[in-house]
Amino acid sequence: MTDLLRPRAMGRSPRRVEGPAKVTGTAPYASDQPVHDPVHAWLVQAEVARGVVTSVDTGRALAEEGVLTVLTPDNAPRLASTEDAELAALQSHDVDFRGQVLAVVVARTPETARHAASLVRVVVEQRPHDVRLSGDRADLYAPEQVNGGFETDTAEGDLAAGLAQAAHVVDRTYTTAWYNNNPLEPHATTAVWSDENLLLYDSTQGVHTTREAVAETFGLSPERVHVISPHVGGGFGAKGTAHVHAILAAMAARALPDVPVKLALTRQQMYSLVGYRTPTIQRVRLGGSADGRLTALAVDAIGQTSRFKEFAEQTAVPARTMYAAPHRRTTHRLAALDVPVPAWMRAPGECPGMFGPEVAMDELAIACGLDPVEFRVRNEPEVEPESGKPFSSRNLVACLREGARRFGWSHRDPTPGARQESGWRVGTGVAASTYPVNRSPGSEANIRFTAPGRYRVEIGAADIGTGTWTSLAQIAADALGVDHGDVELRIGDTRLPKASVAGGSSGITSWGSTVVAAARAFREKFGDRPDDGDETCVAMPESSASDDYAMHAFGAQFAEVRVHVDTGEVRVPRLLGVFAVGRVVNPRLARSQLVGGMTMGLSMALHEHSLLDERFGHVVNHDLAEYHIATNSDVPDVEAHWIEEHDPHTNPMGTKGIGEIGIVGTAAAIVNAAHHATGIRVRDLPLTLDHFVR
């Protein structure tokens, strides 16, 4: 058990400290950083999904006034490491996916660079490509492990027997679509290379992560790479690992020593260069006894990866945690395709992986004649089903009950299609949410006292819009026993002590634990009356809690859905979530994370859908006019609440991570509500009107 911090600043809701800078446009984002006389890079991308570059003619581009250089697979310098194939920019003549970068043009203005890029003639000998994901491909394979380091397959008991015993069986296939991360701020890097030192202003979820990737790729020692990223306009995972544009910016900067090179991706380019969420095909089998207890539970998940680099979404992993069942199995299979490499998108694994199972739970509840809240309560496990570990805390039932109370669930007539109001069929639905408590190793924090009474807390953490600037300072204040205002936090720079990536909702757990350890060490060393300049730097302490406990956040989401009788239009007038996420450091910021996650879940349920054109091999609705994300009018009323939860095991703050759980389960709750409204069961997202119009 950890020594829990006494909350004074934690639990309050100070506003974002960087808010005024952001709303007045003075907060420097990666592409806004003032650099002297920058030049601009523009990318040339492959227009076929597979092939070999046979020639590149840069003559016309170079002849344009203002063009400084054009890098191609023919002339690009060799990189020290091509281990990460995604970062092996211009190292080979092979084309592995449509949109792959085949050249980069650097010019004095972005307009010139863009025009010159259109003049580069790349001849590609096209090869047949294969981008079609389907469940019946003969070449589906089992990856060694899946994202997060989880086992690919698990099994317990005898699934066939469990299903045979069941009074009711659900055996259905559910699909989630291809989704693209669309943070408001497109990826951007400004690079300056001087004297074998590389400075990068990058939009990243982790300055040190970017530094490591770039240093390794160029064979530099990490100290020579300086990454600065004070503000990030969203990432949702797409800025959690370095992508090829950062390498290209650095490569261009190396070709033009001492000259700042700016490379900002367009929205369209993001659809092939910064990762995305794989589409998934999930076969879910559930067996239920006559009294509504699961006898069997199986999730077989299929996703895609690129052929040149593997990414295996851990879609079936949440099923290992959620419900008790004696006979069970989970599997993951992948199709390796000529597509860009998928990557993290808010709650990889949990987000798609709680869609199929939570809809199937609704289907089985109905088959068993049970209320879906009650049905879930009945299948609460005593310990984590597959690991057998006790939960450090698990309050799914409390969330379901509190959510049902707040939502007015008890008045619900379970009959599908029973309610109609002025031309709209009305229904309600529920689904559960879960997200693991992740802790990433490797952070360090430095605390320095400056008289008369300020504490400078330094850690290379990231604020990707989540509120780190504010909440991490609150934690530091409580750890030091001082006011929030006496803490001067510094983050977003590799000159600061090393920090782990803002990913897996692990930021506050990891950086917070580190800051608390540093504060405790500081007080131990210097007492309550330190001298000017006293400082101490410590690394994140080890924790064995995860050996002994299963640590997860839980939640329950309730949706009201209206489906228009004539048009089939689907609206979600009300969405309510109740979460058990440990201690909430800053309620204002936490609510914004949870409401944001739920909104993104609603958007996934109703709208989002990257349209792959199999003939060409790329996503053709690659902009925000055509890739629909929920608008304000789609989201009239989203409420997020949490229950008091004290978990002494997760970390000294007692927190669990709130950045991702909000998106988990939302789509299932909405699909379940749509079924209640209409009697039509949709198993393939998105829930567009064509499912309902008759």
Q: Considering beta carbons, is residue 139 or 626 the nearer one to another protein?
A: 626
Q: Does 547 bind another protein (CB under 8 A)?
A: no
Q: Using CA atoms, how far apart are residues 509 and 435, in angstroms rounded to an integer? A: 13
Q: Does 567 bind another protein (CB under 8 A)?
A: yes
> Among 109-117, 285-293, 396-404, 578-586, which window interacts with another protein (CB under 8 A)?
109-117
Alpha helices in 549-586 (DSSP H): none
CB 27, min distance to another protein, A? 22
**What tokens were used for 298?**
């199986």
Q: Which of 75, 81, 109, 415 binds another protein (CB under 8 A)?
A: 109
Residue 519: DSSP 8-state: H
**Matching residue, tokens 């999930």:** 282
Shortest Å, Cβ 414 to another protein:
28
Angle, helices 513-526/468-480, rounded to nearest 10 degrees: 30
Angle between helices 355-368 and 666-678 (to 10 degrees): 40
- If one asks whether residue 13 binds another protein (CB under 8 A), the answer comes out as no
How remote is the C-alpha of 519 from its chain's centroid?
Answer: 30
From the list 112, 505, 510, 536, which residue makes contact with another protein (rule: CB under 8 A)? 112
226 or 628: CB nearest another protein:
628
Query: What is the rounded distance in angstroms from the CA atom of residue 170 to the CA atom of residue 166?
Result: 10
CA distances from 45 to 103, 114, 117, 120, 265 (A): 7, 12, 9, 10, 12
Q: How many residues bind another protein (CB under 8 A)?
A: 36
Per CB under 8 A, does 118 bind another protein? yes
Of 571, 588, 641, 681, the one binding another protein (CB under 8 A) is 571
Shortest reach from residue 690's CB to another protein, in Å = 4
**Is residue 621 near another protein by the rule CB under 8 A?**
yes
Q: How far apart are CA 262 and CA 141, in angstroms?
A: 40
User: Minimum Å distance from CB 112 to another protein?
Assistant: 5
Smallest separation, CB 113 to another protein (Å): 9
Q: Give the nearer residue to another protein in terms of CB position, either 38 or 288.
A: 38
Q: Using the rule CB under 8 A, is 290 a contact of another protein?
A: no
Binding range to another protein, per CB under 8 A, among 168-176, 240-248, 347-355, 628-636: 628-636
Question: Do residues 216 and 81 lie in contact, with contact meaning Cβ atoms separated by under 8 Å?
Answer: yes
At 117, is the secondary structure helix, strand, or coil? helix
Cα 242–500–251 angle (5° rounding)? 25
Q: Which region, judged by CB under 8 A, interacts with another protein, from 70-78, 184-192, 593-601, 632-640?
A: 632-640
CB of 572 to another protein, least distance (A): 10
Binder of another protein out of 208, 307, 425, 607 (CB under 8 A): 607
- Rounded-to-integer distance, Cα 171 and Cα 222, Å: 51
With binding defined as CB under 8 A, does residue 61 bind another protein? no
| Catalytic annotation, residues | 660
* Shortest Å, Cβ 631 to another protein: 5
Does 606 interact with another protein (rule: CB under 8 A)?
A: yes
Phi/psi class of residue 347: alpha, beta or left (left: φ > 0; alpha: ψ in -120 to 50)?
left
63: Cβ contacts below 8 Å, ≥ 6 apart: none
Whose CA is closest to 659, among 399, 436, 499, 397? 436
Closest to another protein by CB, 240 vs 568, is 568
Shortest distance (Å) from residue 111 CB to another protein? 3
Establish if 47 lies at the interface with another protein (CB under 8 A).
yes
Quick check: 18 and 24 in contact, CB under 8 A? no
Q: Is 421 in the site for another protein (CB under 8 A)?
A: no
Q: Does 413 bind another protein (CB under 8 A)?
A: no
| Residue 46: both structure tokens together | 């492959």
Determine the interface stretch with another protein among 14-22, 139-147, 219-227, 623-631 (rule: CB under 8 A). 623-631
List the one residue from 8, 115, 309, 588 that touches another protein (CB under 8 A).
115
User: Three-state secondary structure along 400-467?
Assistant: HHHHHHHHCHHHCCCCCCCEEECCEEEEEEEEEEEEECCCCCCCEEEEEEECCCEEEEECCCCCCCCC
Residues at the interface with another protein (CB under 8 A): 47, 109, 111-112, 114-115, 118, 423, 566-569, 571, 606-607, 611, 613, 615-616, 618, 620-622, 625-626, 628, 630-634, 688-690, 693-694
